[in-house]
């Protein structure tokens, strides 16, 4: 569709199809990003949930890690969910040995903060700027341990744990909105893409 925002989903591992489906449903022109030249062709990028250590290793192997860091630093709109949030964080706690993030988001994130897959859960969350609660699915999810001066917490658990943040054109969630068919975060991300 002419004039649609051109967005990519990092397609190295994880729930790539689910994000692509939501974005296409919102009218975006979606491409799967596995190489630097594919990254250079998009106006925004989704970092999907999956296994952050695997995505990190594959990004380095495919020569994507440094171009991604540079694009994020240059203002590329990015939405990271779960593992994608870990990859966006400036600092990662409990990471695997040698694990790196792309950085850009002024937060400290603890990997697998809620425990194993069996400790996965769903809940309703109030999100700043949304008119109704979000149904949030947490699967081996990270927790945002601290939010720096450049970022803003936009969603917390009842105990005060931060699980959604925004910083300029960057959005990160500990949970998977795409799993529940929740599209408001993707709409928010696309608004950042369109104003870039």
3-state secondary structure of 88: helix
176 is catalytic: yes
Name the catalytic one among 18, 38, 178, 182: 178
Tokens 């491409």 — which residue?
31
194 is catalytic: no
Q: Which residues pair with 167 in a beta bridge?
A: 170
Name the catalytic one among 18, 19, 82, 166: 82
Residues 146-177 as b/e (b if ≥16 CB within 10 A, e otherwise) read ebeeebebbbbbeeebbbbbbbebbbbbbbbb
Name the catalytic one among 18, 19, 38, 176: 176
178 is catalytic: yes
Among 155, 55, 150, 145, smallest CA distance to 109 is for: 145
Residues annotated as catalytic (active site), given as ranges: 82, 176, 178
């Amino acid at each position: 569709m002419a004039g649609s925002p051109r967005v990519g989903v990092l397609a190295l591992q994880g729930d790539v199809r689910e994000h692509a489906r939501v974005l296409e449903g919102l009218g975006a022109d979606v491409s799967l990003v596995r190489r630097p030249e594919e990254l250079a062709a998009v106006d925004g990028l989704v970092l999907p949930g999956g296994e952050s250590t695997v995505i990190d290793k594959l990004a380095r192997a495919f020569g994507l890690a440094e171009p991604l860091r540079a694009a994020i630093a240059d203002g590329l709109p990015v939405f990271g969910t779960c593992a994608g949030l870990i990859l966006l964080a400036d600092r990662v706690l409990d990471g695997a040995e040698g694990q790196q993030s792309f950085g850009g988001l002024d937060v400290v994130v603890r990997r697998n903060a809620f425990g194993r897959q069996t400790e996965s859960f769903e809940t309703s969350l109030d999100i700043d700027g949304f008119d109704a609660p979000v149904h949030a699915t947490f699967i081996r999810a990270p927790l945002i341990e601290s939010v720096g001066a450049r970022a803003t917490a936009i969603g917390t658990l009842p105990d005060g744990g931060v699980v959604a943040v925004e910083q300029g054109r960057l959005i990160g969630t500990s949970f998977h909105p795409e799993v529940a068919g929740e599209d408001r975060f993707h709409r928010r991300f696309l608004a950042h893409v369109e104003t870039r």
